[in-house]
A and B are shown apart, each in its own frame.
Chain A
Amino acid sequence: MQRFLRNPQQERWEFQLRLKTLWGLIITLCVLLLARLVWLQVISHGYYHTLAEANRISIVPIVPNRGLILDRKGTVLAENNYTYDLEINPARNKNLDRLIDQLSELVTITSSDRKLFRKALDETHGLSPVPIRNRLSETEIARFAVNHYQFPGVDIQARLIRDYPLGTSASHLIGYIGRINEADQERLDDAGLTDEYRGTNHIGKLGIEGHYEHELHGVTGSEQVETDASGRGVRSLSRIDPTAGDDLFLTVDAGLQQAAEKAFGDHRGALVAIEPGTGDILAFVSEPGFDPNLFVEGIDQDNWNALNNSPDKPLNNRALRGLYPPGSTVKPFMALAALTLGKRTTAYKISDPGYFSFPGSSHRYRDWRQGGHGMVDMHLSIVQSCDTYYYGLANDLGIDAMHDFFSEFGFGQKTGIDIDGEMSGLYPSTEWKKKRYKQDWYGGETVISGIGQGYILTTPLQLAQAVATLANNGVMMKPHLVHAIRDRATGSVREIAPENERTLPLKQSDIDFVRDAMEDVMKPGGTAAQAGAGAPYLIAGKTGTAQVVGVRQGEKYNEGRTAERNRDHALFIAFAPADKPRIAVAVLVENGGHGGSTAAPIARKVFDYYLLGRGVTPVPDNSNAGDDSAHD
């Protein structure tokens, strides 16, 4: 290798060359750097500007207050109340177990509280405060407040919680809200409401809470918050206030509702009371009920098991979803069908031997009264609920004519009530049977359909609508539960107008005839005379019994010997005052036996409450209605 730096001149020249070379490199690199900076700051400026804004601004949802649910007189059925939770900030406490032990000396902390705390702690990774106890009592709040200074990082948090002050009353009607689950979220996503529900944890699940979710929820507000890199809000940039959900005024009268529930006593069953002229539902009972408050924060396992495994099925909405044979409550409608279709005159009489049989057949379709009712015309057939009369009538009408006529009254169809999950029931026809069972229709099936047995299934709501339509002289109103919606922001109230479903082509004289007969049902000699006794207003009613288990040929149904759960269901439909109906009801008492003895008295109490005023329930003087009237 040659030696450098020998000649000072050459050495200088070489050094200068190297300086110049490097300076050229420096300028090249600077140009490169500048090109990069121009690309970032001029060409891509818009893109990075957007990223910077997105970095610093986050939109925080502000959840609106849920609308209230009130009855038609303003009694609160669902409201939002403050509840107080005890929260632990895990970042400020090292030994959580010891801390919880110390806290448990001040407030009750169960092992399930601890379990839930651990679970929530894992989910939040210890980044945010986690509740250790929900819904502190007043004394617990006071006790903790005094000792607060000993527990840094433990605080009481207030939040709004849905509260159903009436508890189990009207639970099936009001429904409840619960935490949004995956299925709810999917539905919200499909409906494009994902953003609207950002920040909302609860959603209406059932009843009014479910059906009117849109009105009750309100409009979510938002706040633009400048956040730092760790996501902490630094300051508010702008705010759009949320709009509280609408308040709903129900058609239901809470007092009437509670009176009806009380009237059921220990019985299971359902009652729907409708104002015939409007379709307003005045009471909507399914007994037993449940406490919707249990569901708001997520029901615990014990309560869930108790509700779900109970043989009384308290979660089952019997009024909306219970399917029962209507039994003899179809008879007034059968009579109307006969008159309308010209198959019977009112004067036409049959001689009732206690059974009906087809010519040349030994099979007997028995009347409930052994030996029969003697000579029976249409009036008496309703008053005494003569089965034989209707066996023959059904045979003459034919199932398809019956199907068409009953469909007009809403049998086999949803009423379209404003809560979800309604069952449509069933009124059979030859076509239906062909489709469903690929079988021909038998004459015997028509005969038993005449007394509301066989394939026919109705919900108590359907029955109530049918009787309300009858009471309203054939003008069918759509049953509904909400009669007014109050906009919380403006305070303006929007009334929901009654909806006329259809007007049935009935003759007023026929309707009047059937009503007269139904009035006599409630009078001595009628099947519900006991329940009708002493009423200072006119009641038109009809009892019914629905078989739970079939009674074989030649056997007699014996209530005493039949297991309670296999006893017949008792039914009763009625409206009052009969001359100017203000309320129509359908009552079903599961395994209640006879409509006249168990279902009708419940209706009577409801009528008394509604027509005579709160708490006024005159003791009916027990007139001698006769043994028969106790039967169907």
Chain B
Amino acid sequence: MPTIKELRQRFLAPLDPTLFNTCLILTALGLIVQYSASGSDLAKVLSQVRNLGFAFAAMWVMAVTPPYKIERVVFPVYAIALVALVAVALFGEVSHGARRWLHLGPMRLQPSELMKIALPLALAGYFEWRGKAISWRDFVVAAVLLLIPVALVIRQPDLGTALLIASSGFYVLYFAGLSWKVMGGLLASGLASLPLVWHLLHDYQRKRILTLLDPTQDPLGAGYHTLQSMIALGSGGLVGKGWLQGTQSHLDFLPEHTTDFVFAVFGEEFGLLGELVFLVAMLVIITRGFFIANEGSTPFARLVAGALSMTLFTYTFVNMGMVSGILPVVGVPLPFLSYGGTSLVTLFISIGILMSVHHHRKLVKQ
């Protein structure tokens, strides 16, 4: 019989204290702001607590699973995510003019969320599998693996998520050693093709970008969300209006205030100082992720840890940029604060993988 100490050791050892404690702080912040954003709706908070239960369980499962075991499932997971995306395109549920959700019995899945994590894992797995024989052809293959799901998500249409999936995949290519010249070339050609991209955008997407340049131009239309969230943040000031005291969210001026725009609620009630606490905590997690990536024992571990950390930052930055009006409105949840089960579970899976990479860094070496 293992002693309690042994049990605790086996149970808690994989949970990196830095990551775990910071996650706890952020989770607590998330529940506090959810209670306010939902209009003191305890049921909604409890439902988020249930989501957190799943998320922490998923994190623990990932943390105790050595990277080489994770590696074995990345291609099947990628394949499943891809099939799900195709299924969405064929018989997905239309909501808000986009086909994003898939009904599986009582569950409502958003396969694009799954792809956010499946793609970097699969790409990292691919580079690990190629081992020391990596050539430029592998980058082409990886690019194709990246572009297929991105194209499917663009078609939904969900340009924001597609860009986020593309970025998470791209980080793997970047860490795998994609030539600086190629990246420079991609950047240059990307800038050059902007007029063409503009031409291909949907009207509402163009409007969002134009609105970003001047949100007051169309305060009741496309600029409404941005303007109202800017008012929420701006009126919050340095220290905020206080918990449950935000007028913008409580009087329904803020759209999507439990999900994508939750940061506006947070900023209105806790002010710039509250936002700093959140941002610093996120930077702690990301920086810790980078350290873990650096000490990763295998290319797979390093690539996955680097890409997932960077993806975490990307979500944080894009969401905060959107809410504060420097990026166009893109449907991206804010890690830890936004309501929603799928995004929470994928977030904690990422954290769990980081923990696993850290915990198993020596095991593999031995």
Residues of chain A having any CB pair with chain B under 8 Å: 1, 3-6, 11, 14-16, 18-19, 22-23, 26, 29-30, 32-34, 36-38, 40-42, 44-45, 47-49, 51-53, 55-56, 226-230, 234
Contacts of A229 in B (CB 8 A): 251-253
User: Does chain A have a CB within 8 A of B306?
Assistant: yes
Contacts of B253 in A (CB 8 A): 55-56, 228-229
CA distance A30 to B272 in the complex (A): 13
What number of B residues sit within 8 Å (CB to CB) of A?
Answer: 48
Interface contact B320-A33, CB-CB below 8 Å: yes
Interface contact A48-B230, CB-CB below 8 Å: yes
Given contact pairs A33-B321, A37-B275, a sample of 12 additional A-B residue pairs in the complex whose CB atoms are under 8 Å apart = A3-B134, A14-B177, A15-B302, A18-B174, A33-B320, A36-B325, A41-B272, A42-B238, A45-B237, A47-B234, A48-B234, A56-B248
Contacts of B313 in A (CB 8 A): 26, 29
**How far does the Cβ of A498 sit from chain B's closest Cβ, in whole Å?**
58
CA distance A36 to B253 in the complex (A): 21
**How far does the Cβ of B171 sit from chain A's closest Cβ, in whole Å?**
8
User: Does chain A have a CB within 8 A of B179?
Assistant: yes
Interface contact B286-A5, CB-CB below 8 Å: no
> In terms of DSSP, what is the predominant structure of the interface of chain A?
helix
Interface contact A41-B232, CB-CB below 8 Å: no
**How far does the Cβ of A459 sit from chain B's closest Cβ, in whole Å?**
56
User: Does chain A have a CB within 8 A of B236?
Assistant: yes
Contacts of B68 in A (CB 8 A): none
User: Does chain A have a CB within 8 A of B233?
Assistant: yes
Q: A6-B132, A15-B175, A30-B279 are in contact. Are A42 and B231 (CB under 8 A)?
A: no
Interface contact B134-A37, CB-CB below 8 Å: no
CA distance A268 to B248 in the complex (A): 67
Interface contact B294-A226, CB-CB below 8 Å: no
- Set B235, B299, B325: member contacting A52, Cβ < 8 A: B235
Q: A56-B247, A56-B251, A226-B251 are in contact. Are A49 and B235 (CB under 8 A)?
A: yes
- When C-beta atoms are compared, the residue in chain A nearest to B175 turns out to be A18
- When C-beta atoms are compared, the residue in chain A nearest to B272 turns out to be A41
Pick from B232, B234, B272, B326 the residue with the most CB of A within 10 Å.
B234
Contacts of A1 in B (CB 8 A): 135-136, 179
Contacts of A6 in B (CB 8 A): 132
Q: A38-B272, A44-B234, A55-B247 are in contact. Are A33 and B252 (CB under 8 A)?
A: no
Interface contact B230-A22, CB-CB below 8 Å: no
Write the B137-171 contact mask toward A (1 if CB under 8 angstroms, else 0). 00000000000000000000000000000000000
Interface contact A36-B294, CB-CB below 8 Å: no
- When C-beta atoms are compared, the residue in chain B nearest to A47 turns out to be B234
Write the B12-46 contact mask toward A (1 if CB under 8 angstroms, else 0). 00000000000000000000000000000000000
- When C-beta atoms are compared, the residue in chain A nearest to B174 turns out to be A18
Residues of chain B having any CB pair with chain A under 8 Å: 132-136, 174-177, 179, 228, 230-238, 247-248, 251-253, 267, 271-272, 275-276, 279, 283, 286-287, 290, 293-294, 299, 302, 306, 310, 313, 317, 320-321, 324-326
Contacts of A14 in B (CB 8 A): 177
Interface contact A55-B251, CB-CB below 8 Å: yes
Interface contact B132-A48, CB-CB below 8 Å: no
**How far does the Cβ of B304 sit from chain A's closest Cβ, in whole Å?**
13
- When C-beta atoms are compared, the residue in chain B nearest to A8 turns out to be B132
Interface contact B234-A45, CB-CB below 8 Å: yes
Interface contact B236-A41, CB-CB below 8 Å: yes
- When C-beta atoms are compared, the residue in chain A nearest to B324 turns out to be A36
Q: A33-B321, A37-B324, A228-B251 are in contact. Are A3 and B283 (CB under 8 A)?
A: no
Q: A49-B237, A234-B251 are in contact. Are A41 and B271 (CB under 8 A)?
A: yes
**How far does the Cβ of A228 sit from chain B's closest Cβ, in whole Å?**
4
Interface contact A5-B235, CB-CB below 8 Å: no
Interface contact B177-A4, CB-CB below 8 Å: yes
Interface contact B230-A5, CB-CB below 8 Å: no
Interface contact B286-A55, CB-CB below 8 Å: no
Contacts of A228 in B (CB 8 A): 251-253
Contacts of B299 in A (CB 8 A): 5, 11
Interface contact A41-B294, CB-CB below 8 Å: no
Interface contact B294-A15, CB-CB below 8 Å: yes
Interface contact A49-B234, CB-CB below 8 Å: yes
Contacts of A49 in B (CB 8 A): 234-235, 237
Contacts of B271 in A (CB 8 A): 41
Contacts of A44 in B (CB 8 A): 234
Q: A18-B174, A34-B279 are in contact. Are A48 and B320 (CB under 8 A)?
A: no
Interface contact B290-A33, CB-CB below 8 Å: no
CA distance A29 to B299 in the complex (A): 27
**How far does the Cβ of B70 sit from chain A's closest Cβ, in whole Å?**
19
Q: A5-B132, A19-B306 are in contact. Are A55 and B248 (CB under 8 A)?
A: yes
- When C-beta atoms are compared, the residue in chain A nearest to B306 turns out to be A19
Interface contact B235-A19, CB-CB below 8 Å: no
Contacts of A29 in B (CB 8 A): 313, 317
A–B Cβ pairs within 8 angstroms, 7 of them: A5-B132, A19-B290, A22-B306, A36-B321, A41-B271, A41-B272, A42-B237
Pick from A4, A40, A53 the residue with the most CB of B within 10 Å.
A40
Q: A26-B283, A33-B317, A34-B279 are in contact. Are A227 and B251 (CB under 8 A)?
A: yes
- Set B235, B236, B325: member contacting A51, Cβ < 8 A: B235
Contacts of A234 in B (CB 8 A): 251
- Set B174, B175, B237: member contacting A41, Cβ < 8 A: B237
CA distance A38 to B238 in the complex (A): 8
Interface contact A41-B238, CB-CB below 8 Å: yes
Contacts of A55 in B (CB 8 A): 228, 231, 247-248, 251, 253
**How far does the Cβ of A49 sit from chain B's closest Cβ, in whole Å?**
5
**How far does the Cβ of A257 sit from chain B's closest Cβ, in whole Å?**
56
**How far does the Cβ of B324 sit from chain A's closest Cβ, in whole Å?**
5
**How far does the Cβ of B85 sit from chain A's closest Cβ, in whole Å?**
28
